[in-house]
Each structure stands twice: as structure tokens, then as C-alpha cells.
Amino acid sequence: MKWLSVAEISKITMIPAPTARRYASLFKDFLSSKKMGRVTKYPESAVEIFTRIVTLYNEGMVTTEIEEQLRSEYPRTIEISPSERAVPAQPAMNLQAELSGAFAEMMNKMSKSLDVIADQKSIIEEQREDIYKLKKAFVLLARSQKKIKALPQLDIRSMTEEYDERTNALEQKDIELEEATSELAQENTSLRNKVDVMEAELIRLRKDRRDMEKYFLDKIQRLKS
């Protein structure tokens, strides 16, 4: 059997080489091939399939439709490398042990995955609880804002003016009280001076009375004797 490269098939079918390579990639399931060094080659029978692909594209079919058509006309092929052919069959016991080990490893991974899922579920539940609390707080905040808006609006300007008026009145009262206090202090000083004079006069009068009493007592004593 003669094997052809994509370049050789391109020359035979008059299909541009890039297009032929694209066909080889898109419809590889219908093209037998094998590696020869670094080059993939196809049997001479592949020329017919390449030609058929060109014809179907020219008829207006799309890639998926061409695949269906080729599936009905040509058997699908599976490429098996020489190395795969050379691998001997594993003994049944070794295969069973390998499968058992793989199954145990898979079950272990699944168990760990379930643990992670359980942890994630717990975290999600906590986050849901936090979200519920936040929603409740937002609802309460919205209600509070509505109540605040429902309250009568305060006239800040009029309140400020009233405050200024009362402040000015209090300042005026303070001035008047200060003046009255000053006047009272002056009057108090004058009264204190008068009281001091009167106290001095009273002391003098008491002294004169004592002197007078002493004089009369002496006079009486002399008369008796």
C-alpha cells in the first residue's frame, strides 16, 4: 500500500495545501493515517475522501453536515500507534489490583470533597444568617427614616432668630443687674460709712454716760459723808 503525505494529496486533488491540512484535522476520524518519522501519511484511498469533502463543501454543506454524510458513506477509523500495539495485555490479577487501588483513591478523594462541601455548606449557612441580619437592619433603618421624614419639619432659621432675641434680652438683663449691683454696692458703702459714724457716736455716748454715772456716784458719796 502506498502512503501519501498531505502535500502529495494536495497535488493529486488540486486542493491547496493549507486547506488539505485543515480537512485532515477536521475529518481525521474518517482518514486512516500513520506516523512516518515526523510526517503523517495517509493511504491512497484517502484521496477519494478528500475529493468527496471538497464536493460536499461545494454543494453548500457545513462541517457538521459533511461529518454526518461521511459517517453514512465511510467507516470511522481509530489510529493505533505502534507502541500501543506492542503493549502486552496485563494479567487479570494486576489489573484488578490496579482498579481496586484507583477505586480506593477515588473514594478517598470523594470523601475529602464531601468534607470540603460540608464545610462550605456551614460557611454558606453562616453567611445566610449574616445576610438575614443585615436585611433586617436595613428594614429597621428604612422604617426609622420614614418616621423621621413624617415628623414636622423644624424651622431652623426662626429658631435661630428666637435664640438670638432671647440671648440679647438676657444680655440686656445682665447689664441692668450689673448696674443695679453697682448702685447697691455704692449705697452699701455709704450705709457702712454712716453705720461706722453712728457706732463711733454710740461708743462716745456710752463713755459719756459712764463718766456721768461715775460723777454722780462720787457726788452722792460725798454728800452722804
Specify the 3-state DSSP secondary structure of 73.
Answer: helix
- Which of 49, 24, 48, 26 minimizes the C-alpha distance to 34? 24
Lowest-confidence range among 62-66, 149-153, 170-174? 149-153
Domains of the chain and any CATH numbers: 3-80 (1.10.1660.10)
Confidence bin at 88 (pLDDT 50/70/90): very low
Percent of the residues in the chain that have a pLDDT greater than 90, as a whole number: 32
Contact 100, 54 (CB under 8 A): no
Angle between helical axes of 17-26 and 6-13 (0-180°, round to 10): 110
pLDDT of residue 26: 94
- For position 94, what pLDDT does the model report? 65
Q: What mean pLDDT is predicted for residues 71-98?
A: 60
Distance CA 225, CA 219 (A): 10
Question: Rounded distance, CA 129 to CA 211, Å?
Answer: 106
The reported pLDDT for the residue numbered 112 is: 67
- What is the model's pTM? 0.36
DSSP string, 138-190: HHHHHHHHHHHHHSPPP-HHHHHHHHHHHHHHHHHHHHHHHHHHHHHHHHHHH
Asked whether 9 and 42 are in contact (CB, 8 A), the reply is yes
The type of residue at 105 is E
| CA 124/CA 128 separation, integer angstroms | 6
What is the model's pLDDT at position 64?
A: 94
At 48-58, the pLDDT tens digits run: 999 999 999 99
pLDDT-based confidence at residue 76 (cuts at 50, 70, 90)? low
Q: Give yes or no for residue 35 having a pLDDT over 80.
A: yes
Contact 80/34 with Cβ under 8 angstroms?
Answer: no
User: Is residue 204 within a helix (H) or strand (E), and if so which, with residue range?
Assistant: helix 156-224
Q: What is the pLDDT of residue 151?
A: 64
Check residue 122 and give its pLDDT.
56
Mean pLDDT for the chain?
A: 82
Those residues with Cβ within 8 angstroms of residue 44's Cβ, 6 or more apart along the chain or in another chain: 1, 2, 3, 4
- The pLDDT, as a whole number, for residue 123 is 62
Name the more confident of 145 and 208. 208
User: Can you say whether residue 151 is alpha, beta or left, with left for phi > 0 and alpha for psi between -120 and 50 degrees?
Assistant: beta
* Residues 6 or more apart whose Cβ sits within 8 Å of residue 57: 66
Specify the pLDDT at position 111: 66
Distance CA 8, CA 21 (A): 11
Q: How confident is the model at residue 87 (pLDDT cuts 50, 70, 90)?
A: very low
Per 3-state DSSP, the chain is made up of helix, strand and coil in percentages (nearest 5) of: 80, 5, 15
End-to-end Cα, the chain, rounded Å: 191
Please give the pLDDT value at position 119. Answer: 60
pLDDT > 90? residue 47 = yes
Which residue from 56, 58, 66, 72 is spatially nearest to 26, judged by alpha carbons?
66
pLDDT value, residue 89: 44
Q: How confident is the model at residue 115 (pLDDT cuts 50, 70, 90)?
A: low
The pLDDT of 78-88, averaged and rounded, is 47
Assess whether pLDDT exceeds 80 at residue 15.
yes
